[in-house]
Amino acid sequence: MIQSVWEREGARAPIVLPRGMLARYELLQADLLSLYDIHVRRWRSSMSGAAWEEHDADGTITRVIDTPRPRGPMSAAIFCHEVGHHAIGFDRYKPRCLEEYHAWAWSLGTLAAWDVTISDRVRARVHESLEYAVAKGLRRGLKRLPDELVPFLSELGCASDNPG
Ligand SMILES: [Zn+2]
């Protein structure tokens, strides 16, 4: 389901992918940062990230992320999720949990296009992250949950900590 969303947005990967996974992760990192003109403020050692825009007084917008270096399935998924926020734009999807959904969809679609393994741990992380985003939205008074997010309604109604 998540992948089909990305396919509508147009998957992109080099025609010839490096065979070695480390080389592939390095190319993924360089290619996406250059394509979307994104600056990494901090390479995190933890499996968490953040994406934001910095607006200068003269109107210049700088795209920034904190992220782990893509070196395995989980770090690559988080890296692509943060890039995805910039690729889809910060004003395109409301509420915030729907933006999270599309950033993950973008991430999984990009990993698939690059033929990078999407592990069960990554899928579980995506699910937990969206459960958390939905619970947070509901706690903050979200009135109508977008249909895409119904599968991520947590049975407990809230998630206790932020998986990212
Ligand atoms: Zn996010």
Helices (H), 15-160: 21-35, 73-88, 96-113, 120-139
Q: pLDDT by residue (tens digit) across 36-93?
A: 999 999 999 999 999 999 999 999 999 999 999 999 999 999 999 999 999 999 989 9
Q: How far is the CA of 130 from the centre of ligand 1 (A)?
A: 9
The pocket of ion ligand 1, defined by CB under 5 A, consists of 100, 103
Cα distances (angstroms) measured from residue 60 to each of 38, 39, 57, 69: 13, 14, 7, 26
Q: pLDDT by residue (tens digit) across 101-142?
A: 999 999 999 999 999 999 999 999 999 999 999 999 999 999
Q: How far is the CA of 133 from the centre of ligand 1 (A)?
A: 9
CA–CA gap between residue 42 and residue 46 (Å, rounded): 11
Nearest Cα neighbor of 2 from 87, 126, 105 is 105
Q: How far is the CA of 115 from the centre of ligand 1 (A)?
A: 22
Q: How far is the CA of 104 from the centre of ligand 1 (A)?
A: 7
Q: How far is the CA of 60 from the centre of ligand 1 (A)?
A: 23
Q: Name the amino acid, one letter, at 108.
A: L
CA–CA gap between residue 96 and residue 128 (Å, rounded): 16
Cα distances (angstroms) measured from residue 157 to each of 63, 106, 163: 34, 26, 16
In this prediction the pTM is 0.88
Backbone angles phi, psi at 6, to 5 degrees: -65, -40
CA–CA gap between residue 70 and residue 18 (Å, rounded): 15
Question: CA angle 18-106-43, nearest 5°?
Answer: 65
Q: Burial of 61 by CB count in 10 Å (0-12 exposed, 13-18 middle, 19+ buried)?
A: exposed
Q: How far is the CA of 78 from the centre of ligand 1 (A)?
A: 9
Q: How far is the CA of 57 from the centre of ligand 1 (A)?
A: 26
Q: How far is the CA of 81 from the centre of ligand 1 (A)?
A: 6
Q: How far is the CA of 117 from the centre of ligand 1 (A)?
A: 20
Specify the pLDDT at position 10: 52
Q: Where are the domains of the chain?
A: 2-10+20-152
